[in-house]
């Protein structure tokens, strides 16, 4: 990357977050990564001994823990150039099954997790008069399909919130980007509690030549970050070529 940036990545312990950490570390970014699984974070940091990476354990549903991650970045580097809200879950089931706990989990992680990140970093970026807030959205934020109504609803909400952020903070030179992948071979499928649905979706993503890799999505994130401050990439919608929806 042409200018070294300070990047905070939430949900960095696996999948897209892990791949983005690796990509940006290779490009020389200063990184603060966070997730709930400390062993994964520690191993990721240790795999790049020459990179400038710190980690913190945090649950995105806990606003104090999210704030502590952002505070760590400011304490260490004096600023935050990019926040990447990547944590998410995708339990799927028909609405008629009334899975209240799963609905609440999706609302808390997929929506409140994004809002907690925004709330933590916005005062800093407004003071800097610069910044970039990125969120992992989904093709599910563009289309609705059976058994995923609530998940789709959370991703539609992220689109609305991120666009609202763009409109509210454009005069403060704060950019926002939604990364909307289609099928990606990640651990996200582990959050589906229905074994048959989990296996079907995982099989689709893992079929050779079909699903995206986490690295494919990380490349899109890196591209958005690399653009000049005068350029705002509002959304990148990235599907496997053979995906129907």
Task: State the catalytic residues.
Answer: 151
Which long-range contacts does 164-169 make (Cβ < 8 Å, 24+ apart)? 165/118, 165/133, 166/232, 166/234, 169/122, 169/125, 169/126
Q: Which of 52, 78, 79, 62 is nearest to 10 (CA)?
A: 62
Secondary structure, 3-state, 67-133: HHHHHHHHHHHCCCCEEEECCCCCCCCCHHHCCHHHHHHHHHHHHHHHHHHHHHHHHHHHHHCCEEE
Tokens matching residue 43: 């191993």
Residue 96 gets the label, from left (phi > 0), alpha (psi -120 to 50) or beta, of: alpha
Angle separating helix axes 113-128 and 149-169, nearest 10 degrees? 10
3-state secondary structure of 6: strand
Element (H, E) at 168: helix 149-169
What one-character-per-residue DSSP string does 147-163 give?
Answer: T-HHHHHHHHHHHHHHH
């Amino acid at each position: 990357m042409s200018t070294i940036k300070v990047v905070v990545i939430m949900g960095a312990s696996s999948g897209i977050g892990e791949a983005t950490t690796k990509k940006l570390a290779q490009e020389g970014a200063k990184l603060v990564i966070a997730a709930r699984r400390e062993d994964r974070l520690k191993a990721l940091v240790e795999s790049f001994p020459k990179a400038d990476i710190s980690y913190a354990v945090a649950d995105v549903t806990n606003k104090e823990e999210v704030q502590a991650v952002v505070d760590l970045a400011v304490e260490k580097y004096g600023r935050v150039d990019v926040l990447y809200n990547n944590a998410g879950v995708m339990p799927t089931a028909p609405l008629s099954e009334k899975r209240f706990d799963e609905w609440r989990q999706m609302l808390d992680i997929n929506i409140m997790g994004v809002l907690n990140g925004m709330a933590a970093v916005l005062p800093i970026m407004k003071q800097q008069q610069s910044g970039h807030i990125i969120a992992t959205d989904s093709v599910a934020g563009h289309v609705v399909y059976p058994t995923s109504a609530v998940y789709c609803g959370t991703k539609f909400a992220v689109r609305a919130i991120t666009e609202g952020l763009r409109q509210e903070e454009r005069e403060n030179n704060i950019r926002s980007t939604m990364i909307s992948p289609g099928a990606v071979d990640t651990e996200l499928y582990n959050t589906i509690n229905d074994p048959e649905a989990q296996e079907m979706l995982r099989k689709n993503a893992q079929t050779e030549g079909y699903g995206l890799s986490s690295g494919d999505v990380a490349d899109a994130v890196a591209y958005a970050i690399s653009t000049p401050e005068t350029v705002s990439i509002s959304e990148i919608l990235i599907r496997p070529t053979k995906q129907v929806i």
